[in-house]
Structure 1
Amino acid sequence: MTAIAADLDAAGFTVERLDSLWGAEAAASLHRGSRVAALRALASRESSPLATLATLFVLGLPVSRAHADAAFPTAGVDRVVAAGLLRLDPTSSDDSGLPLDVADVLVHPTVDLRPYAFVDDLGAGSWWIVSDLGELALGTALGEEHVLGIGGATTTLSGLQLPVHVGRVLDLGTGCGIQAMHARRFADQVVATDISRRAFDIARFNVALNGLDGIEFRLGSLFEPVAGERFDRIVSNPPFVITPRREGVPAYEYRDGGMVGDTLVETVLRGLEEHLEPGGTAQLLGNWEYRWGSDGLERVSSWFADAELDVWVVERERQDPPAYAETWIRDGGTKPGTAEFDQLVDAWLDDFRDRRVTGVGFGYVVVRRAPHDTDVPGGTPHLRRFERVPETLGSNPAGLGATVARALDAAAWLAVHDDAALAAAHLRVAGDVTEERAYWPGNDDPTVMTLVQGGGFGRRVDADTALAAFVGACDGELSVAAIVGAIAQITGVDEAALTADLLPRARDLVLDGLLLPA
């Protein structure tokens, strides 16, 4: 494993070097599922170990044995074949039909292997990640045991993990192991579970290839491998995709938990409290159904009705049944316009009709179990927030983990500050908050005032004159009560009425991170 890593490193097999190899346009084209532009770019360059690795593991195409030997001078091709990354094609021949020399035997990739770069609160990092060959390389729909690599959901969840050091973390449904690897950066030990044996093999390989330790793998479904155990943090991108339970519909292990509708997400969320240490947190992705006469977020809220947990659910997107079905059928590699595609859409729509599903929401869930000591901040559940935040808000290269951590701290602070304590508190405006004002032409008074958060979720809060004046005066010097009293005196408004108006809004601004306790 060390020798393979040495060869990848020596070739400069990095995200930055790959982008330079074939250019930004070809990289974007690859992301859209076409390798033509990348192949044209490679054809204009001299052969190199980097080009060979890119052709094999990113484009999914064979190379000659001679080029493969040059790309793996330390490990040697035979060792890479034995590791399961390559296979030799002994039947290769040229146009004459005669066997080729051993140096010209074709070498084929058996997996997708590519560099992955990220940024978190510890700084920039990079790994090499193995997964199964995708639809582009296979030329067919994916197999049901397919192990997925890095995707949009991967980066969403990795960015959502709290950047706070803890003892033990559970990665539920580890897949290729990427979330366990991210979790290890902030934990002493990680336990990674999955029901797929192939996923386990690939995840173990990724951990070893990148020289990581402290990650234990256990085979089994959901919480079964950790029965009776508790963790300081649970992270999970579970197989939440709603899939019809009908013959002929592929059941992809990486996304389908084998349950009806959103039952798997409900099962995972209901199991969190039992497996979290006091004060422990969980960050998960999931989706939930909207049914006729039933709001999706209200359904999620009901799953936590009896739990002693702080809960924050953020819905980022909602799809109607046809759009949801088409999205996941394409994800499996079935082409639109084919009879198979149409049959699968029919199966999905029948399934949704039978449960009167009108839409599916997608987003993430943040949970914290209350500490034992109810006399400390956060000692009892106090955060129950179910909101819709569009995908267009909250785009941060380092993710939202730090934002979530601050929100949980703010919720704990607010819980022990009743209105009298909040009035006596000193607040300051967060450094990323600005104010926008819009005026009618020729009018000196603004018609619209908006508080704008530069980081986090990038929230935009409409403000009237009183709220704008209050936030503008929050510099940590004066108490909330003093600021409200001054505004009331200047504007001639009843102070008690103004206090009743501003305190709830101040709480919201603290929770959202626009105001900070000073």
Structure 2
Amino acid sequence: MLPDPDPTLCRHLADDLRAAGFTAEALRTAFGDAADDAIARGLRAPADRSLGARDDALAVLARLLVLGMPQDEAFVSSALPRTGAAGLAALGLVSVGDGVRPLAVVRPQSYADADGAGQWWIASDLDEAALGGPLPEDHVLGVGGASLTLASLQLPTAARRGLDIGAGCGIQALRARRSVARVTATDISPRALAFTRLNALLNGVDAIDTRLGSLFEPVAGEEFDRIVSNPPFVITPRVEDVPAYEYRDGGMEGDDVVAAFVRGVGGHLAPGGVAQLLGNWETRAGVDGLDRVRAWVAQSPIALDAWVVERESLDPLSYAELWVRDGGTLPGTPEFARLADAWLDDFAAREVTEVGFGYLLLRRPRSGEPTLSRFERLHQSLTGDSLGAHLADALADHDRLEPLDDAGVAASAFVVAPDVTEARHHVPGQEDPTVIELRQGGGFGRALSVDPALAALVGACDGDLPAGVLIDAIAELLGADAARLRADLLPRVRELAFTGFLRFA
């Protein structure tokens, strides 16, 4: 069990790490780009080889806290003069005996948001490369691709009370605290909550309260302005001899943990409050996965706005292979084949043909009925790290557009977002383009094929004239009926404004 972190020791460790220049940039320089990238794939040797015989503070801490390799006690105490090896042991991060052996990793993690850039030190359990085998079931995961994605999705707008469900190492609570005054972090794992408290103290972040329990049990009767969750959504067979990792398995069948969150979150959102989470959903017995998510939203006792984006989908075999590997079981072994078969049997029992992964944004209306119901597939690569700001802008524009009829949209002036570009494709020798495409450099990186009329309208949106005046001028140039062109273009202007191609002037 990780001990409850001592605030003074955490301050000393932070001072030592800062003095050693223990940053993501410094480590990447020390390791080299290729070796640094290899660490995420479980390969430590290239980074260790890059350090060579170095015994300076950065090199010692890199081996001990990033690569999870034992170090000489004298070197560690020299690298951490305030904390010492004994201080690390008191925090539960190492054991001291025949040298200093790591029990956890502490890795720097850079971040950037609307308020600026910075860095946290994030402690978590040793990965399979350091352990030399499969993970224990109570493993507390560090910062991975999914957690970074959810952190970037968090709305940057100010809020009073926040809730992080399934806090793990605490990365979402730290990110939420950037814009939320007080954050409650919950988890079913006492070890995870200890890491959350440690990481908050290590980074000097206050007003994060931890509570033990599943889903909404620890906050019964409470409402929050912002809820975020990277829940244990990984679909795991409910059979013996299949590891049930706490960090990814919610103990329910199929995608029931995500369904339970969606159905229950409304009762814990204050009016106007927003919940954001990652999740999986199954396509079952011919029922599309997004349609099943739509049904979960409809089953909420509190009516909710919903914006759900599927980022990727996997067939059952690919899904099974992904999560068997994630637990540290090597492909090609009898154990890998046995576990993969257990996943396939589980999917077959529910007639699952596909598993989707994506993002859910749910909002409790301040008053009245929900006005946003959007379920879409966006499987292209993301192009930026400002998704939270993009989502906040989209919600604000939706709320501004909602009370406007077509006449109101026509009376509004718009400007083209600065990240939007236009591409025209021509057949050689022909003057007119065969395809006109608008591309978004930020947000979800959308690309839209548009006709000449819409392309002309977007190109003319500089904030000076209302959209209706521009459409009438384009109709005259094209020899088209102005009323029909308005009826065609104004709904598409709404869509372009919501998705971020256009902004209100």
Q: Please indicate the TM-score interval, normalised by the length of the shorter structure.
A: over 0.9
Q: Counterparts of 1:123-272 in structure 2 under 5 Å?
A: 123-272=116-265
Aligned residue number for residue 430 of structure 2: 443
Aligned residue number for residue 384 of structure 2: 396
Aligned residue number for residue 47 of structure 1: 55
Match of 2:105 among 105, 108, 112: 112
Q: What stretches of structure 1 of length at least 5 have no aligned partner?
A: 90-104, 375-379
Q: CA deviation at 1:500?
A: 1.6
Aligned residue number for residue 418 of structure 1: 405
CA deviation map 1:36-76 (0-9, x unaligned):
21121112x43111111111111111111221121121122
Q: May I ask how many residue pairs the two structures share in their alignment?
A: 494
Match of 1:82 among 67, 90, 96: 90
Query: What code does the residue aligned with 2:235 have?
Result: I
CA deviation map 1:332-369 (0-9, x unaligned):
10111111111101100000000000010000001111
Aligned residue number for residue 40 of structure 2: 31
Aligned 8 A contact 2:380 2:445 in 1:
no
Matched, 1:358 2:346: no
CA deviation map 1:287-317 (0-9, x unaligned):
1001131111011011112552211000000
Aligned residue number for residue 4 of structure 2: none
Match of 2:78 among 60, 70, 78: 70
TM-score by length of 2: 0.96
**Cα distance in 1, alignment partners of residues 249 and 356 from structure 2:** 17
Is the partner of 2:32 in helix, strand or coil?
Answer: helix
- Bigger Cα displacement from structure 2, 487-496 vs 218-227: 487-496
Aligned residue number for residue 304 of structure 2: 309
Is the partner of 1:63 in helix, strand or coil?
Answer: coil
**Cα distance in 1, alignment partners of residues 38 and 256 from structure 2:** 37
**Cα distance in 1, alignment partners of residues 169 and 380 from structure 2:** 25
Change (3 A) 1:58 1:190: same
Is the partner of 1:285 in helix, strand or coil?
Answer: strand
Q: What stretches of structure 2 of length at least 5 have no aligned partner?
A: 1-9
Q: CA deviation at 1:395?
A: 2.5
Matched, 1:514 2:501: yes
Moved runs in structure 1, 4+ residues, more than 4 A? none
**Cα distance in 1, alignment partners of residues 499 and 266 from structure 2:** 25
Aligned residue number for residue 314 of structure 2: 319
- Bigger Cα displacement from structure 2, 288-297 vs 75-84: 75-84
**Cα distance in 1, alignment partners of residues 38 and 421 from structure 2:** 37
Aligned residue number for residue 342 of structure 1: 337
Matched, 1:273 2:266: yes
- Bigger Cα displacement from structure 2, 470-479 vs 239-248: 470-479
Aligned residue number for residue 489 of structure 1: 476
Aligned-residue CA RMSD (Å) = 1.2
**Cα distance in 1, alignment partners of residues 467 and 169 from structure 2:** 50
CA deviation map 1:120-171 (0-9, x unaligned):
1111111111100000000010000000000001110000000111100000
**Cα distance in 2, alignment partners of residues 107 and 422 from structure 1:** 66
Q: CA deviation at 1:391?
A: 4.1
Query: What code does the residue aligned with 1:460 have?
Result: A
**Cα distance in 2, alignment partners of residues 341 and 431 from structure 1:** 49
**Cα distance in 1, alignment partners of residues 212 and 54 from structure 2:** 45
Aligned 8 A contact 2:165 2:215 in 1:
yes
Q: CA deviation at 1:435?
A: 1.1
Aligned 8 A contact 2:161 2:226 in 1:
yes
Q: CA deviation at 1:388?
A: 0.6
CA deviation map 1:388-408 (0-9, x unaligned):
11141x3313x3000000111
**Cα distance in 2, alignment partners of residues 70 and 501 from structure 1:** 71
Match of 1:381 among 359, 370, 376: 370
CA deviation map 1:108-129 (0-9, x unaligned):
1111111111111111111111
**Cα distance in 2, alignment partners of residues 10 and 430 from structure 1:** 42
Query: What code does the residue aligned with 1:137 have?
Result: A
Match of 1:21 among 18, 25, 30: 30
Query: What code does the residue aligned with 1:77 have?
Result: A
**Cα distance in 2, alignment partners of residues 6 and 470 from structure 1:** 56
For the pair shown, which has the larger CA radius of gyration, 1 or 2? Answer: 1
Query: What code does the residue aligned with 1:361 have?
Result: G
Aligned residue number for residue 6 of structure 2: none
Q: CA deviation at 1:496?
A: 2.0
Query: What code does the residue aligned with 1:152 have?
Result: G
**Cα distance in 2, alignment partners of residues 409 and 320 from structure 1:** 36
**Cα distance in 1, alignment partners of residues 413 and 32 from structure 2:** 52
**Cα distance in 1, alignment partners of residues 478 and 72 from structure 2:** 81
**Cα distance in 2, alignment partners of residues 313 and 68 from structure 1:** 48
